[in-house]
Amino acid sequence: MIRRRKTAAKAPPKLTVNPLTAKWNGGFAIPPFEKIEVRHFKPALEAAFREHNAEIEKIAKNPAKPTFANTILALEKSGWQLSRIASLFWNLEASDSSPELQEVARDMAPRFAAHETHVLLDKRLFKRIDDLFERRESLKLSDEDRRVLERHHLEFVRAGARLSAADKARVKKINARLATLVTQFMQNVLKDEQSWQLVLEGDNDLSGLPPTLRESAERAAADAGLKGKALITLARSSVEGFLTFSARRDLREQAFNAWIKRGATDGETDNRQIVAEAVALRNEYARLMGFKSFAEFSLQDTMAKTPGAVSDLLSGVWIKALERAGEERDALRAEAQRAGDNSPIMPWDWRYFAEKVRKAKFDFDESKLQPYLELENMIGAAFACATRLFGLRFKERKDLPRYHPEVRVWEVLDKAGAHVGIFMGDYFARPSKRSGAWMSAFRSQHKLAKGQSPIIVNVLNFAKGADGEPALLSFDDARTLFHEFGHALHGLLSDVTYPSISGTAVSRDFVELPSQLYEHWLSTAEVLGKHALHYKTGKPMPKALRDKLFAARNFNQGFATVEYTSSALVDMALYSAEGDPIGDIERFEEETLKGIGMPAEIVMRHRLPHFMHIMSGYAAGYYSYMWSEVMDADAFAAFEEAGDVFHRPTAKKLYEFIYSAGNRRDPHAAYVAFRGRPPKIDGLLKKRGLAA
């Protein structure tokens, strides 16, 4: 757990040994979290920047003719100290932050951008890489070496290495400003989430909430010093559960509005102008690079390649989703009227009445699942699937360092008992953590020098159980756990030589394939039958309940698809806009949604003022979840066609070409090598219940 010094009038003591720059001698070279203080980061990072600059300078001014070894291999071996400290810093800033750590992040974000830009715009360095690239056919490189050379060359070109001196100077300013904007945006969303809570008092406020949700809300209140009350927060598992079950329409409206207005509440955390400026800067950057828009620039290095290809996918799904959502809305309206409520269906009503329709149509109550979806058992289920598919074993290590007391640590072993890596699970919501769920790496795998095994973390935001009770998940929560663990396996199973192509360092619209594919195993009768056990009795989920779950799996998919696809369409429109910069992003959002026929009863899954994906690595890229979904549905069908969801020969190919391969080959080629053909869209439409 990172230590935070209390503010004091006297100057801090001089550093003797900075634990960040010293050798990490603990088990598996895990960061010494217990020794680290916020004040250690700035001097450690500055020293790491200097060290990396010296390494780059040595490569750039090498008088010898460029070779793969003295240029590309040297680049891959440079910056290791910076990489390990930066990975630690940004992971902590997202998952266990503090005002002090956030202040360091605001200071260092433009520093990171300036350093990266300095390296990528070094004309001496690019000259060496370009020389190798032009001679690549005659260099007798291995396939992996050639791939790494080509990726480095493309990275430098896309960073602006071929621009004029004046344009390079502008790129440096753009990158620095964007780094500041993105950091401030993320911190603003976190502050809005931290500052809002809905306190529930008495049975009237709790009306409609199932016991599991009541208990977790009471636990949240107790943790916040509000013993005897219940608390709903803006953690997704808390607020979505409340919107699904609360019989108090007025309170649902309060919670829903707080959820969708994050980043747009005026004051110091307002993100609207930040988004507008970031979009304008990215589009300016794209034009400097010779593209009409940032979307066109961004998609060049993806599987999709062009905005037109993305539009074809999204538009085709959108039409079917709108039709299905209209049918669902009519059913909700009828259900409300049967209950004596003639009010129009509003966005804060959808989940509530959808749950009632589902219960009536399928005799299925979502809340009945939760007693069988205990967090511990779902972690075990995710591990067990990895054992059957890839031969992995997971040994919990309570003796190893962790950055927060709630974090759990496992050593990952292969079937022969050899060390594979370290997996950390950070499962519960807390004020110091951003909302959402993600996978990240404290250390990525590679084979250079003595090699390096990965340290991978999954960060989620589940609600804790009541005192003395385990955490019980919704089915969506359990699916999220499997999704993020699929990403984790992509990092843990990586088996490549070079750091730059390790693990999840793949095309943005390919990176979601391993995670979305892994979700499929949760929904199999085999996994649920063995691991969905009642948290009190230990009895398995009844087959009748499983059957109802499977029968209802495509229920409300019109809503879910509209919610997601509208976000992807707005993202693409935002970064495809040509001409004058967008001033009012909320108006842009409203007009774009109107233009595509967005139903008034549904709000896009991520509104622009809190759309963290498109402010960071998924700008003009939110579509990629659906692009990957085409592949994940098609890929799982390979197991179904084999008649065994754990079919060993298919799992072996999945390991070889997808999970362990990093970015060794073009993603389309990687998929074809696994499946034997390109993916077909049929599986996606069937999975979402949108096919005839």
Q: Residue range 269-278: average pLDDT?
A: 97
Banded model confidence at residue 16, pLDDT cuts 50, 70, 90: confident
Q: What is the reported pLDDT for 508?
A: 93
Q: Residue range 146-174: average pLDDT?
A: 98
Q: Which residues pair with 374 in a beta bridge?
A: 472
Q: What is the reported pLDDT for 616?
A: 87
Q: Has residue 488 got a pLDDT over 70?
A: yes
The span from the CA of 38 to the CA of 88, in Å, is 12
453 dihedral zone (left: phi>0; alpha: psi -120 to 50; beta)? beta
Q: Which residues make up the CATH 1.20.1050.40 domain(s) of the chain?
A: 27-162
- Class for the domain spanning 270-363+554-614: mainly alpha
Q: Residue range 41-47: average pLDDT?
A: 97
Q: Has residue 650 got a pLDDT over 60?
A: yes
Q: Residue range 662-681: average pLDDT?
A: 95
The pLDDT mean for the chain works out to 95
Quick: pLDDT tens for 563-602: 999 999 999 999 998 888 899 999 999 999 999 999 999 9
Residue with more model confidence, 86 or 579 = 86
325, 597 Cβ separation under 8 angstroms: no
Query: For residue 128, which of 212, 207, 72 has the smallest C-alpha distance?
Result: 72
Q: Has residue 99 got a pLDDT over 70?
A: yes
Q: Has residue 1 got a pLDDT over 70?
A: no
The span from the CA of 594 to the CA of 514, in Å, is 34
Q: Which residues make up the CATH 1.10.1370.40 domain(s) of the chain?
A: 370-551
Banded model confidence at residue 466, pLDDT cuts 50, 70, 90: confident
Banded model confidence at residue 269, pLDDT cuts 50, 70, 90: very high
SS (H, E, C) 489-520: HHHHCCCCCCHHHCCCCCCCCCCHHHHHHHHH
Quick: pLDDT tens for 369-394: 999 999 999 999 999 999 999 999 99
Q: What is the reported pLDDT for 579?
A: 82
Give me the architecture of the 370-551 domain, per CATH. Orthogonal Bundle (1.10)
User: What's the Rg (C-alpha) of the chain?
Assistant: 25
Q: Has residue 7 got a pLDDT over 80?
A: no
Domain 27-162 falls in which CATH fold?
Glutathione S-transferase Yfyf (Class Pi); Chain A, domain 2 (1.20.1050)
Query: For residue 319, which of 566, 606, 516 has the smallest C-alpha distance?
Result: 566
Q: Has residue 468 got a pLDDT over 90?
A: no
Quick: pLDDT tens for 201-242: 999 999 999 999 999 999 999 999 999 999 999 988 899 999
Ordered DSSP codes for 114-178: HHHHHHHT-HHHHHHHHHHHHTGGGS---HHHHHHHHHHHHHHHHHTTTS-HHHHHHHHHHHHHH
Q: Which residues make up the CATH 1.10.1370.10 domain(s) of the chain?
A: 270-363+554-614
Please indicate whether residue 484 is annotated as part of the active site: yes
- Considering 76, 193, 484, 601, which one is annotated as catalytic? 484
Q: Which residues pair with 231 in a beta bridge?
A: 199
Q: What is the reported pLDDT for 13?
A: 54
